[in-house]
Amino acid sequence: MDEKILYGYSGLFDTPDEIIEAANKTAESKFKKYDVHTPYPVHGMDDAMKLKPSRLPYVALVVGLSAMFGMLGFMYWISTVDYPVIVGGKPFFSFPAWVPVLFEITVLSASIATVVAMIAIFFKFPNISHPLHDTDFMKSVTSDKYGISIDVTDDENVEEAKLFLQSIGANNVTAIYWDNDEVNFKNSVLQPKFLALLLVLVIGVSGATYFTLNKLMFMAPFNWMREQAKYIPQEKSTFFSDEFAMRNPVAGTVQRGLLPYKFTKKPEESAALINPLEVTKPNLDLGKKKYDIYCSPCHGYFAEGDSRMRGQFPNPPSLHSEKVRNWSDGRIFNVLTDGQNVMPSYAYQLTRNERWAVILYVRALQRSLNAKESDLK
Amino acid sequence: MSSTENIIDYNKKGLPPIFGIFGFGLFGIGLGLSILAYLIEPVRSAYNNVILLEFLSSIGIGSLFLIALEYVVGAVWSTPFRRVFEILSSVLLILPLVAIPVYLHAHDIFHWTHLEVVASDPILNEKSPYLNMTFFTIRIIAYFVIWILFHLLITHNSKKQDVTKDIKLTKLNTKLSAIFLPLFAITLTFSSIDWLMSLEPHWFSTIFGVYYFAGTFLAAIAAGTYLVIWLNEKGLLVKGIGKDHYYSLGALLFGFINFWAYIAFSQYLLIWYANLPEETVWFLQRWNGSWMYFSIFFVVIHFLVPYFALLSQPSKMNPKTLKFMSVWIILAHFFDLYWIVMPTFSREGFVFGWIEIGFLLLGLGIVIVVFNLKAKNQNLVAIGDPRLKRGLDFRL
């Protein structure tokens, strides 16, 4: 076994007054690397040790303010730019409702940052060993004694520290050695052990999250809230004899504000219908949009029947034919509503207004190839 | 504890004459302006008188509350300057005098005193068992009696202790304080409802008492902090009061700046969120016309400036910063009351003129004059308090 490396010396005191005085004397001595250990915070210790004000508050200030303004910007972006939703009749930029969130995020991030900074910078995480751990000195100062430890690892004359501690009246002056197995001067975040721990943590946390959200929520008793005395879609009814939970409307039910289409299977009579829409830009735009979506796959973007369906049976017809040009708007409407030959009904895909708008657009396409005399002037 | 008696080195010295002269100057100018104001604009003066009354009651009752709280929790750090707060709380003795002009003008400023209006107004009619002149009079007398009684009892025991040095008096005061604290909570809440909230009798806010308390305590700590630091710098207090004590006062000040903002915002947020017409009317009035600018400005002076001025640890120990911020907060509390009271008088926009300044000067003058008079015939430090030595030894 190698010879142990000396860490320093520790000494014990019995009362808070003694430790304050001892801290005072140590602060004035040549020893700069020392620490005081007490079982509870002793008032006036900062002064006695002549500690400079801690720099941790700046971490709290900077992180707290950054989090606050970051969150302010984030909420502004969510609520007014990316996904504006009206809540309770309030404006999108409803600052008072954000204040509690800003307050919480400031406090939370500032306190977490303070703790993390303290652990990372001052404790040199992930280094968790310290020569003072597991010593009798530490046992004493965490129960009823007050102690000073002086770090002499880098010093030449180690005996001086021992003599100094004795001179200021310390009891039980003891040498403290580095534990050879744990000698670790480096801030080694990339240790394989530590990385493995991180990996285990990541897998554990994400596995637990996955299990909770995808499995546990569907097990008893967590799924009890799901099982309620109501029918969900597609559920079998035990009450009605036809076993349908969703009931069909009574025969002859008419949708509110919408009269049924009277010319089903009566194409000739439908010719009398008149297009209720005027030829305006918005109507033509709507017609073009719907035409490009629902009609162009067969009839082609320019209604010439030249889509990729051409060559397959049956060829989609051109809408520029004499027959279609001479049809009234009502007649075309009937085709869109009822379908014709292999063309299905588009009544489910297009509302009535949209069908009329499509007809307006088809008329415009037709006139682009077969203009009237008057269009040329 | 007998050993402590020899250590306390306190010689009674009079306050510098400039203090009294300054106080009497403010008092004289303020009194002159207020009397003139009553002759020219009696209604506006009565509203200002409400501000003055609540301002003085803030400083008096806030100080008494701090003393009672310290007794009950057994605080040690504050014993060296408890007497300063005791003397400050004698402002309570003047309160009934200040309340008389308001009481005489009650019909001008309190809408609910108009019986013919109340009869035809279903809301006020329902509230009339509480809001009527007889019960109002009984209540305000009860507040003054309770406050002044406890002020006299607690300060009397404390003064007696200067001579007898008897720990029993501390225990007696602790018991008195324990009785006083719940009474304080009730009387302060209801007095704020009676004097301030009933100016707008249709409106109500359940947090209003707490809101007034936050300002009250803040103003009292600020006044006390200023006086403690000033007296200590003049060497009129006992040796041993230092930056650890200043820091504690500063931290208390800072804490209650936050508490005030928290309560003020809680009141606003809930009313804003619920958006009920009977509640929003009060805030809409304070957003009407030029009041809007005052309300925004008020958030800055009552919260943002003092918050950042006292945020860092060194600033809470710096006597100069503390003194400046104490005066700032006392004025901010005056504007807090102004913001509560004056929109009822001037609905279209804020008015601020010589009348308001006159009453402000009168308020500051009364505090200084009362402090000066009371400080003449008693010690400025509770030299008989058995905890005084420990209080002086207090370190962070």
| pLDDT, position B205 | 92
| pLDDT, position B152 | 96
* A66 sits in which H/E element: helix A56-76
> Using CB atoms, which residue from B269, B311, B395 is nearest to A47?
B395
Q: Which one is predicted more confidently, B213 or A338?
A: B213
| pLDDT, position B354 | 93
CA distances from B217 to A171, B65, B322 (A): 49, 8, 16
Cβ distance B268 to A96 less than 8 Å, yes or no, reads yes
Q: What residues make up the domain containing B121?
A: 4-392
How far is it, in rounded angstroms, from Cα B248 to Cα B254?
A: 10
How far is it, in rounded angstroms, from Cα B233 to Cα B235?
A: 5
| pLDDT, position B1 | 39
The full set of domains in chain A, from first to last, is: 6-182 (no CATH), 190-248 (no CATH), 267-372 (1.10.760.10)
- pLDDT tens digits along A288-309: 999 999 988 888 888 888 887 7
Residue A54 has pLDDT above 50, yes or no: yes
Residue A187 has pLDDT above 70, yes or no: no
Interface test with A, best of B273, B275, B304 (most A CBs within 10 A): B273
pTM reported for the whole predicted model: 0.73
Mean pLDDT of A192-209: 94
Q: What is the mean pLDDT of chain A?
A: 86
Length of chain B: 396
Dihedral pair phi/psi, residue A34, rounded to 5°: -145, 165
Cβ distance B395 to A57 less than 8 Å, yes or no, reads no
- pLDDT tens digits along A136-170: 899 999 999 999 988 887 777 778 888 888 888 88
| pLDDT, position B2 | 41
Cβ distance B269 to A88 less than 8 Å, yes or no, reads no
| pLDDT, position A161 | 85
Interface test with A, best of B76, B272, B394 (most A CBs within 10 A): B272
Residue A198 has pLDDT above 50, yes or no: yes
Does residue A89 sit at the B interface (CB-CB below 8 Å)? yes
Q: Which one is predicted more confidently, A260 or A90?
A: A90
Does residue B394 sit at the A interface (CB-CB below 8 Å)? yes
Total of domains in chain B: 1
Mean pLDDT of A226-249: 85
Among the listed residues A122, A167, A142, A181, the one whose alpha carbon sits nearest the alpha carbon of residue A37: A142
Does residue B304 sit at the A interface (CB-CB below 8 Å)? no
| pLDDT, position B4 | 44
Does residue B269 sit at the A interface (CB-CB below 8 Å)? yes
* CB within 8 Å of B227: residues ≥ 6 apart: B84, B88, B371
Amino acid (one-letter) located at A355:
R
| pLDDT, position A1 | 45
Could you list the pLDDT tens digit for every one of the 396 residues in chain B? Answer: 344 444 567 878 888 899 999 999 999 999 999 999 999 999 999 999 999 999 999 999 999 999 999 999 999 999 999 999 999 999 999 999 999 999 999 999 999 999 999 999 999 999 999 999 999 999 999 999 999 999 999 999 999 998 888 899 999 999 999 999 999 999 999 999 999 999 999 999 999 999 999 999 999 999 999 999 999 998 888 888 888 899 999 999 999 999 999 999 999 999 999 989 989 999 999 999 899 999 999 999 999 999 999 998 889 999 999 999 999 999 999 999 999 999 999 888 888 999 999 999 999 999 999 999 999 888 889 888 888 888 888 887
| pLDDT, position A132 | 85
